[in-house]
Chain A
Amino acid sequence: MSRQLTATERELIRQLQADIPLTPEPFADIGAAVGMSADQVLEKVGQWIEDGTIRRFGAMVRHQKLGYKANAMSAWDVPDERADEVGEALAAASEVSHCYQRPRADGWNYNLFAMIHGATPDECHQVAAALSVRVGAGEYRLLFSTREFKKISMSYFME
């Protein structure tokens, strides 16, 4: 979406990023709040899903409550010329939910990040060890979260 959003579109985004109402016709109710018909809302949402503006439309669950007890942020130090190859290989693993290349920084000599999900920290370690062999990347470490300070969904156009 390269063009500027209209005021109505911004208002619709504010509604859609909140909770969808638990009413029989939630899109009609959202439309009523922003001055659009249900059909206009459905068309716009469909278009945004199609062009990737909406990445996902559904329920956000608490992973830790639904069986995934541990998640590890794995960080990998891979030669820059192999970063894409290894990044794609890590991303292909079903236990990996997110995978990115990022710059190195002072005191932080890792350039690939992969979130690994498992039932226990041990399982995360086993997954990482197996991945390390499979993708041929030796230098990595796992960071576990010891406390959650904040976890929210981003609210756009609120500032």
Chain B
Amino acid sequence: MDETDNRLVTEIQSGFPVTGRPYAAIGDKLGISEEEVIERLRAIKESGEIRRMGASFDSRKLGYASTLCAAHVPAEKLEETVAVINSYINVTHNYERNHHYNVWFTVIAPSRERIGEILAEIEAQAGIDPIIDLPATRLYKIQVDLPVINE
């Protein structure tokens, strides 16, 4: 990642131009050609610095429900339980964290009822204690575009 790559990532993180020739528009801003923008983005994506380039939808606006869940999973059941949880396309994030509730994951599904079914299925399949289900009741901030810090 050189200086131009950093500017490119910063530029494209918050605002992908919604125009006919978006890469040309970005190139105009950075003083490089459309071809160079495309080539650089291809390389940055291959390196893994960019996970995905596209739209993030508001699950609520699409009629979906979401929640944050936590489970207490003993070490000997961890691998199997994580496999059960991760098998759902509805689970987008799943982390081990330093607490009695050591597995934290998010669930997005077409309805609250479906979330309840998924959690019951996970509990039954993995044979674990009840999962705590913590749907957000108020949203104060949802922000994903943090500035690029150069190391």
Is A84 a contact partner of B138 (Cβ separation < 8 A)?
yes
**Contacting residue for B21 out of A24, A61, A107, CB 8 A:** A24
Is A151 a contact partner of B93 (Cβ separation < 8 A)?
yes
Number of interface residues of B (CB under 8 A): 77
**Contacting residue for A100 out of B41, B99, B138, CB 8 A:** B138
User: Complex formed: what's the CA distance from A148 to B19 in Å?
Assistant: 36
**Contacting residue for A59 out of B13, B34, B82, CB 8 A:** B13
User: Complex formed: what's the CA distance from A28 to B23 in Å?
Assistant: 13
Is B140 a contact partner of A59 (Cβ separation < 8 A)?
no
Number of interface residues of A (CB under 8 A): 78
When C-beta atoms are compared, the residue in chain A nearest to B61 turns out to be: A53
**Contacting residue for B70 out of A25, A51, A108, CB 8 A:** A108
User: Complex formed: what's the CA distance from A62 to B142 in Å?
Assistant: 17
Main secondary structure of the interface of A (DSSP, over half): mixed
**Contacting residue for A62 out of B51, B70, B91, B93, CB 8 A:** B51
Which residues of A from 100 to 118 have beta carbons under 8 Å from B? 100-103, 105-108, 113, 117
User: Complex formed: what's the CA distance from A113 to B101 in Å?
Assistant: 15
Which residues of A from 68 to 104 have beta carbons under 8 Å from B? 68, 73, 83-84, 87-88, 90-91, 96-103
Which residues of A are interface residues toward B (Cβ below 8 A)? 1, 5, 13, 16-20, 22-28, 38, 42, 45-46, 48-49, 51-63, 65-68, 73, 83-84, 87-88, 90-91, 96-103, 105-108, 113, 117, 119, 141, 143-159
